[in-house]
A and B are shown apart, each in its own frame.
Chain A
């Protein structure tokens, strides 16, 4: 029995041709969204983007207005006349999953969706809402229950068909109407029960009526791509779930049209001549899947790709390359670790319930050095649960913590944790020993927990690093709560500072992110109150107070704000990417051009 022949099946027709769609529930905007890297890493995805916070903070303090004009710290607004033609190749570590406009779960897919489908509004680099299909920001009734949008005149889809309010009504209908509930959309749970109706009194006007105030509506839900009713209107909601459109969008309304998708390798887009703001300068945009961060950096150097986000470990090397602009700026995201504060779990409760113990553990971490070693200095030590570029960020949050080993030791001594024979602290017969989990495959996180283990060892605390699969981590955090400490990252899709899911009792349980089971009635009250109005001036002091409380209590101490790192070939102009429009909105790509037109 020697020769073995394997007979590969023929490609065409051996398997059913079916479309790939299924709803992928995705975190809604706001702080419910996990870092993108957590979903899509291949084994070799490494350090997160990091950037020079100093540069960013400088113009951050300046205010949103400046940013709105400059649109991100990329190549300064150029005085060159745009050159028409040519293509732009962007390198990305992971492939897109689909074009599920109302369901995209990962940031890569969202990026290409915002490239091909505009919504009523879009997002500027600094997080501000900008009108896209709508001609201006909506008029809001005084009770915040009615939003009226006026569409721009003569909007068209890529096939020339007119885009009217009917398409808007159709699109949003899929997300909240009871008769469309067979269509699975991850945003349904956010909109159902809030939106009462979406109507089109005339082809250029859309009216949203709410039954109760949803403070985040404008920031979070007005950017949904508007779908072509003339293509999808006749499909039953159930059949829409598996429709081919979500992997092959034949008709779009965005800057680029979809051309083809070579799975695992590239997605090709071509200029949409029917785009409302006029045709883009570029002929083609190619989203190229790159194997890992090292290769990405390499390909930036050779010019095989024009733009991309290289790894921090390659960044210093990249800065020496003359053909590339190496840019860093802060991201609206933070990395933090959280404790299991559930009273029912006696061993972790015994260790972590004391606020001073949590302070001691945080003080024992030399975060500046950690940022240098693990992030290659492309991250800033953080003090607040809000990200610096958010309008609700409190720069004077108090208390702030410095690296103070001696202070940490004293706090632990005072709390009754005495050093045992093996150097690990003991109290009432229990050793101060726990497991710290993070998602495997993310090199930065894995390194972080090893460094934290080492630094805590020096004050007599024993931490066991446990990298585990992301899915398991999320289950632990949200459902089973079988963890002691978790290291995680949170990314913000927009500028709404609401963090109900993270820090309030509403966030405890399967729907939320408060896996710590942290209960603070004051925080609950403040967070809820901040959602009852859309007036930023009223909301801001509430969020300031929340930041102070959380900095004092440290249920989930914030470690770093990592930065974005970008490599942009000098031939690319107007690549105005910023903190809030990397994947959240790509309509700005209309103005990108390449100086050689190739």
Chain B
């Protein structure tokens, strides 16, 4: 197993280097014509520009900048913003919890809803209900997420309020001034964005659960259980369901790398102060270094996550474990 683990780590190194090189190169192509601070002070004198460039380290040769960049990344420093010199890592630290709150909730919601939907579809296969559920999943996957979010906001926030009815907040994590301690307040803010984000997961996972369930129900051991006289209920919920859900867990696991980036559009539509929204805002301001820093961070997370998964499988798969 050790050999396997080592080989995985070795295979990952070029990817890590590749990611840092790609992001670094892209940044410098972009930043070539960028004069930091220019958009904020049109009176910027050339000497001041030079001072700022020196401060950000933009005047040194590329290889040296790359080494600084890599060195920084190893220590968790993902660079400084070109606009105000703030640390990218600090921004990430500030915003990551909000993103995770959103994406983890969405995934949980997705799982909790897909399982009953999928199971129902499988159990009542071919019925009108099944067809309806399938149609809903297929439809759900075609709905643009930003549009769904927009419509929900317009109805549940704007329209309901215009009619004088209780309504949902249209953005943000919490009501300001509350310090985030009020659980109900946070839930109310979380409902719409998490629903929209989970929508696409739902569509796929419910169908997947359904087909997985069907496969399991067709297995020999299920038939055996029935033949032994076990009640249908026990067959389904005790045996079949458990086995049908396992592949779903694998599929869910596939989504985990998107925990950081996947919520971007929802974050923007619902003004959720997460990493995706930060990247978007900074991109609009052409703050290349922050965008690159965040992208590198996310990519490295993905790579790390894959490596971790490899380790996990090495541990679980006996063929590797005892090799």
State the A residues within 8 Å of B (CB): 1-9, 11, 14-18, 20-28, 32-34, 38-39, 41-43, 87, 89, 97-98, 105-106, 184, 186, 188-190, 241-242, 262-266, 268, 286, 288-292, 294-295, 298, 301-302, 304, 440-441, 469-472, 474-475, 477-479, 501, 510-513
Q: Contacts of A32 on B, CB cut-off 8 Å?
A: 42-43
Contact call B75/A16, Cβ cutoff below 8 A: yes
- Contact partner of A4 among B39, B96, B309, CB < 8 A? B309
- CB-based contact A11/B286 at 8 Å: no
Find the B residue at minimum CB distance from A190: B43
Contact of A510 (CB < 8 Å), options: B45, B157, B268 = B45
Listed by A's residue number, 10 A-B pairs whose Cβ atoms lie within 8 Å are A3-B249, A3-B254, A14-B93, A15-B77, A20-B84, A41-B284, A291-B271, A302-B161, A304-B175, A512-B42
Chain B residues within 8 Å of A189, by CB: 43, 45, 48
Query: In whole angstroms, how far apart are the Cα atoms of A26 and B40 in the complex?
Result: 5
Contacts known (A7-B305, A266-B176, A292-B271); A105 close to B286, Cβ less than 8 A: no
Minimal beta-carbon separation of B123 from chain A (angstroms):
27
* A288, B174: Cα distance in complex, Å: 11
Interface residue ranges, B against A (CB under 8 Å): 33-35, 37-46, 48-49, 51-52, 55-56, 75-77, 80, 83-87, 89-90, 92-97, 100, 157-158, 161, 170-177, 249-250, 253-257, 259-260, 268, 270-271, 273, 277-278, 280-281, 284-286, 301-302, 304-306, 308-310, 312-313
- In the bound complex, CA of A33 to CA of B41 (Å): 7
**Distance between B151 CB and nearest chain A CB, rounded to angstroms:** 14
**Which residue of chain B lies nearest to A100 when distances are taken between CB atoms in the complex?**
B84
Residues of B within 8 A of A512 (CB): 42-43
- The answer to whether A265 and B284 touch (CB under 8 A), given A11-B96, A32-B43, A89-B176, is no
Q: In this complex, what residue of A is CB-closest to B287?
A: A471
Known: A16-B76, A286-B177, A478-B38. A24 touches B84 (CB 8 A): yes
Q: Are B170 and A295 in contact (CB under 8 A)?
A: yes
Contact of A1 among B43, B76, B256, B306 (CB under 8 A): B306
Instruction: Give the distance in Å from the alpha carbon of A377 to the alpha carbon of B66 in the complex.
Output: 52
- Do A8 and B301 touch (CB < 8 A)? yes
Quick one: given A5-B312, A262-B176, are A105 and B77 in contact (CB under 8 Å)? no
Residue from B33, B34, B51, B76 in contact with A9 in the complex, judged by beta carbons closer than 8 Å: B76
Chain B residues with Cβ below 8 Å from A289 are 176
* A11 CB contact (under 8 Å) in B51, B55, B93: B93
Q: Which of A295, A301, A511 lies in contact with B43, CB distance below 8 A?
A: A511
Q: Kindly report which residue of chain A lies nearest to residue B177, judged by CB atoms.
A: A286
Cβ-closest chain B residue relative to A25: B41
Q: 7 additional contacts, CB 8 Å, given A8-B96, A105-B41? A: A2-B309, A3-B256, A5-B256, A6-B302, A43-B284, A242-B85, A471-B35
Residue in contact with A39 in the complex, picked from B40, B95, B310, CB distance below 8 Å: B40
The 8 Å CB contact of B84, one of A22, A186, A264, A301, is A22
Q: Measured between alpha carbons, how far is A22 from B41 in the docked complex, in Å?
A: 14
Distance (Å) between the CB of B306 and the closest chain A CB? 6
CB distance from B88 to the nearest CB of A (A): 9
Taken together as a complex, chains A and B put the C-alpha atoms of A15 and B259 apart, in Å, by 20
CB contact under 8 A between A43 and B177, given known A2-B254, A469-B284: no
What residues of A have a CB within 8 angstroms of the CB of B100 in the complex? 8
A425 to B38, CA, bound (A): 37
**How close is A487's CB to chain B, nearest CB, in angstroms?**
16
